[in-house]
Amino acid sequence: MATKNTILPILTLFSIFLPLAISIDFNYPAVFNFGDSNSDTGELTVGLGFFLNPPNGQHYFKTSTGRFCDGRLIIDFLMDEMDLPFLNAYLDSIGLPNFRKGCNFAAAGSTIRPATPTSVSPFSFGVQVSQFLRFKARVLELLPEGKKLSKYLPEKDYFEKGLYMFDIGQNDLAGAFYSKSLDQILASIPAILVEFETGIQKLYDQGARNFWIHNTGPLGCLPQNVAKFGTDPSQLDELGCVSQHNQASKLFNLQLHALCRKLQGQFSDANVTYVDIFTIKYNLIANYSRYGFEQPIMACCGYGGPPLNYDSRISCGQTKILNGTSVTAKGCPDSTEYVSWDGIHYTEAANQYVSSQILTGKYSDPPFSDKMPFLLNLKF
């Protein structure tokens, strides 16, 4: 079987590459983020020039900010806990964006593999890395010009001392299910991760030394995938999630973890931290009521009503004519009761739960629960 053949060499990698990472230090002067909609703070909307309609942004920002969420994302909570400002999107040119404490290259719909003509986002991981290289080169050109610009730009040594965060790969897997078999998707994972490693190597060669790598969440538990691929109950697990999607996520994560172990040994002067987002999110869905949620899978903002409140023809906030009738995908009365915001992305409340678990340090390799320099003010 493809799964068994793929897993065996990975297990061997685990035994060969032991973690040699430098201990974690959370006093980072800046953060440079790469990813997809899980951490996009406005890149896709400004990059492609489209509006993300309310009720996106309603809960915290009181307006749409380009985040596919009712409020804050995981990265926003992490920045806040590190006493750093929210990251501006790299392409955002309005309102004097300040990049002194970092820059966000993540764009919704992005993949690790190069984009195709049908891709949602042209800003694949390789493009994001190239954008960073351009960003760094331009910053180093401008810094000598004096204080007027330097208050908006990172210091030269921030590029080495800063934290490089990654949350990408979800779309490579999720998009593939529309045209490929599970075996084909599993067989493609090594090539996807070669592309990812190439980007990481480029950043390391540019002086990056602190890497924070999120694995991918349980794709099979997203209402979008349940609606499309879970119509046959035999395809669902005990939580009502699509089994094959989660199987792909797990194998991707196993190989990503092995890659992180390899990099920990290879980059002896760097810190490479692997963060197990899958376990945190799956635990939330499995034990949702324990954490104050009422709906683990049904979307808050959508159309169609229970059990999923998701219709692929109309996105959150849109009004369209469906079957001769004008309908609107509206938000629910209380998004704090829901894990899923719009069928694809998590609510602010769910993102806060996930970030609180990340910051315990228990879901990381290497773990860092004894390295926290700040006091956490966590809801969960």
The per-residue DSSP string of 215-245 comes to ----GGGSHHHHHHH-SSGGGB-TTS-BHHH
Let me know: does 70 contact 52? Beta carbons within 8 Å. Answer: no
Which pair of tokens denotes residue 190? 């090594």
Which residue, among 288, 295, 276, 292, has the nearest Cα to 223 in the 3D structure?
295
Task: Scan for tokens 């050109």, then name that residue.
Answer: 141
Task: Scan for tokens 């104050």, then name that residue.
Answer: 292
| Peptide bond just before 55 cis, omega within 30 deg | yes
CA distance 356 to 77: 8
User: Any catalytic annotation for residue 342?
Assistant: yes
User: Any catalytic annotation for residue 355?
Assistant: no
Catalytic residue among 36, 37, 76, 257: 37
Catalytic residue among 76, 311, 342, 356: 342
Strands 271-275 and 364-365, by their bridges, are: antiparallel
CA distance 18 to 26: 23
CA distance 65 to 57: 6
Which residue, among 229, 274, 283, 223, has the nearest Cα to 252 in the 3D structure?
274
Which residue, among 13, 76, 78, has the nearest Cα to 40 in the 3D structure?
76
Which residue, among 133, 204, 216, 128, has the nearest Cα to 172 in the 3D structure?
216
Which residue, among 379, 378, 2, has the nearest Cα to 184 in the 3D structure?
2
Identity of the residue numbered 273:
T
CA distance 365 to 355: 16
Let me know: does 317 contact 276? Beta carbons within 8 Å. Answer: no
**Helices within the chain (DSSP H only):** 2-16, 43-48, 74-81, 125-142, 147-150, 158-161, 170-176, 182-205, 223-229, 243-266, 277-286, 348-358
Catalytic residue among 59, 214, 257, 345: 345
User: Any catalytic annotation for residue 345?
Assistant: yes
Q: List the catalytic residues.
A: 37, 342, 345
